[in-house]
Amino acid sequence: MKLNVTNTSVSAVVQKTKEHIDNMLHPKRMWVILSGAVLLISLIAAFMQPYRRSIVLWFPEIKTGMLKAEMRLIPWHSGKVVAVSAIVEELLLGPANPKLKPFTDQRAKLKEVIQSKNEFIIALDAKALFVSSVKPELSDYSKFFTAIAKSVRFNTGIKHLAIAIEGYIVFLQ
């Protein structure tokens, strides 16, 4: 089978293609199409990321020692036990602001959070109190426990809280 292509048929196709491209790239249509494409890409990117919620944590200021608030974004979880765990883990990581000092070394870990009726028990390991990188004279443990309680209460609404270290309750509110 032999194709019978003439100059006039090729030029007609080229002319139709040129008209179609000129019609699509007309400034009014081009900006609408580009805006729609940017909106579509933005929506896809927004829906692909997990929902994050903001929490407020309190850390002592280096100069005065007063508790100052710091906002963080954490992935959203359903359930108060998971929310309390995420808040305490962020507190144990320390502040992002260099003007604030951490309570503990970053090696301190949260063992578990136990819910008992209306009370939550936060179990920490011993490294939360006995750490090498934070000088003991700079650590105020009552302020540390108060900051945990304040952060948990502010972000979750939990009022009854106990902090246990190695199985012994050291703070009760």
Same domain, 116 and 86: yes
pLDDT in tens, 36-74: 999 999 999 888 877 888 899 999 888 888 889 999 988
Residue 1 lies in a domain: no
Q: Please count the structural domains in the chain.
A: 2
Mean pLDDT value across residues 163-167: 88
Segments forming the whole domain that contains residue 24? 7-48
pLDDT in tens, 79-134: 889 999 999 999 988 899 999 988 887 788 899 999 988 889 999 988 777 655 55
Cβ atoms of 119 and 158 within 8 Å: the answer is: no
Same domain, 128 and 57: yes
Query: Across the chain, where does the E strand assignment appear?
Result: 52-60, 67-75, 110-116, 119-124, 160-165, 168-172
Same domain, 100 and 136: yes
Same domain, 63 and 91: yes
Residue 141 lies in a domain: yes
Same domain, 29 and 107: no
Contacts of residues 106-112 at CB distance under 8 Å and 24 or more positions apart, as own/partner, are 107/131, 110/85, 112/85
Residue 149 lies in a domain: yes
Same domain, 89 and 166: yes
Residue 95 lies in a domain: yes
Q: How far apart are the first and last CA of the chain?
A: 91
Same domain, 62 and 108: yes
Same domain, 67 and 101: yes
Reported residue count of the chain is 173
SS3 of 4-32: CCCHHHHHHHHHHHHHHHHHHCCHHHHHH
Same domain, 35 and 59: no
